[in-house]
A and B are shown apart, each in its own frame.
Chain A
Amino acid sequence: MIVAKRKPFEEIKDMIKDYKKVLNVGCGTCVAVCLAGGEKEVAVLNSELEMARKLDNNPIELGAKTIERQCDREYLEALDDMVKDYDAIISMACGVGIQFLAERYPEKPVFPGVDTTGMSVNQAVGWYEERCRSCGQCVLGVTGGICPVTMCAKGLYNGPCGGTNNGNCEISDEQPCAWFMIYERLEKQGRLDNILEFKPPVEWNDQVPRTLIQSGYKKPEEAA
């Protein structure tokens, strides 16, 4: 799941200091599950902002609306009639949602309410750990299901490097060496030969925004 962290209050307050009527839009999917930008977090932020602006003698009128997903036109449509009543919008979705919202209402200033921090697993309520950097060329099949791009400080596809240090990474004793973990897991599975498999350089042209069209689908003609 995509996880995010609420931006520091002062930063949000500063971004909207010149606006008197602001709509705060939550996202009901990933950021709601990771307790950063769902309906409740929208309510908390609005409450904080309203109190702070009142204390500053600069009252603000805030709207709250949480839609199922901000990365889907289908759900964004619900905002069409509301947006015109506001001077600016705060989006508490991930970076994807914020941009899609800003794209739909290009005349309105859109401000991020969260910092998107990656694609993570849920270790316990409120505790998330990153596992994937969406590099686009998954090697998990030969690395024992451990991602070296995410877990290795250097993101090495062919490791380990000389910095592997008794199971830890040279950057910190608290950071396990991804390639050590990969070695151990492959050894347990009797697949150590996999570690010798050479992974060629990744296609860095993937660094441009990627478009994905699933097999069996195509761009609608009007959008093509």
Chain B
Amino acid sequence: MRLEYPASIKIIRVPCSGKVDVMYLLRAIQKGADGAYIVGCLEGTCHFNEGNFRARERVEHVQKLLEEVGIEGDRVRMYNLSSGEGPTFAAYAREMTEHIKKLGPNPLNKTNKKAAA
């Protein structure tokens, strides 16, 4: 399909979105990422039944934790698509990038010596 999506996105592959732990997301923001999002399978189609639901719950939990800290919780998001939806993947990548650009850089980076992507 030769689809393009923003180069600012770094993909980390996991066996299932249910593998994504609260600490993965928190650590990403802590280390300076401007945003982090999970792309899981469509709801109701999880091979492990509830992996993507767990991922969503964790995202919501991390959003609350970040708000407590004083960072916009919406820097962390959850998206769902099926593995056959390449164009949707690219669209979500663009949507997330635009969203994060609106929010601006990670506030931690003002004090971080080395800013991560």
Are A and B subunits of one complex?
Answer: yes
Question: Which A residues contact B (CB, under 8 angstroms)?
Answer: 9-10, 40, 43-44, 47-48, 50-52, 54-55, 57, 59
Q: Which residues of A contact B22 (CB under 8 A)?
A: 40, 44
Q: Is the interface of A mostly helix, strand, loop or mixed?
A: helix
- In angstroms, Cα B30 to Cα A55, docked, is 11
Q: Is the CB of A9 within 8 A of B68?
A: yes
Q: Which residues of A contact B12 (CB under 8 A)?
A: none
CB of B27 closer than 8 Å to a CB of A: yes
Given contacts A9-B68, A51-B30, A52-B70, contact A57 B111 (CB under 8 A): yes
Q: Is the CB of A10 within 8 A of B23?
A: no
Whose C-beta in chain B lies nearest to the C-beta of A55? Answer: B70
Q: Which residues of B contact A40 (CB under 8 A)?
A: 21-23
Q: Which residues of B contact A54 (CB under 8 A)?
A: 108, 111-112
- In angstroms, Cα B23 to Cα A50, docked, is 13
Question: Interface extent on B, as a size class?
Answer: 10 to 19
Q: B112: shortest Cβ distance to chain A, in Å? A: 8
CB of B29 closer than 8 Å to a CB of A: yes
Q: Is the interface of B mostly helix, strand, loop or mixed?
A: helix
Question: Which B residues contact A (CB, under 8 angstroms)?
Answer: 21-23, 26-27, 29-30, 65, 68-71, 107-108, 111-112
Q: B77: shortest Cβ distance to chain A, in Å? A: 18
- In angstroms, Cα B107 to Cα A54, docked, is 9
- In angstroms, Cα B29 to Cα A54, docked, is 13
Cβ-neighbour of A48 out of B68, B107, B112 (below 8 A): B68
Most buried by B among A10, A40, A50, A54: A54
Most buried by B among A10, A40, A47: A47
Q: Is the CB of B30 within 8 A of A50?
A: yes
Q: Is the CB of B71 within 8 A of A51?
A: yes
Q: Is the CB of A55 within 8 A of B26?
A: no
Q: Which residues of A contact B112 (CB under 8 A)?
A: 54
Whose C-beta in chain A lies nearest to the C-beta of B57? Answer: A126
- In angstroms, Cα B30 to Cα A50, docked, is 8
Given contacts A9-B68, A9-B69, A10-B68, contact A51 B29 (CB under 8 A): yes
Q: Which residues of A contact B65 (CB under 8 A)?
A: 9, 44, 48
- 24 residue pairs bridging A and B, Cβ less than 8 Å apart: A9-B65, A10-B68, A40-B21, A40-B22, A40-B23, A43-B23, A44-B23, A44-B65, A47-B26, A48-B26, A48-B65, A48-B68, A48-B69, A50-B30, A51-B30, A51-B71, A52-B68, A52-B69, A52-B70, A54-B112, A55-B70, A55-B71, A55-B107, A55-B108
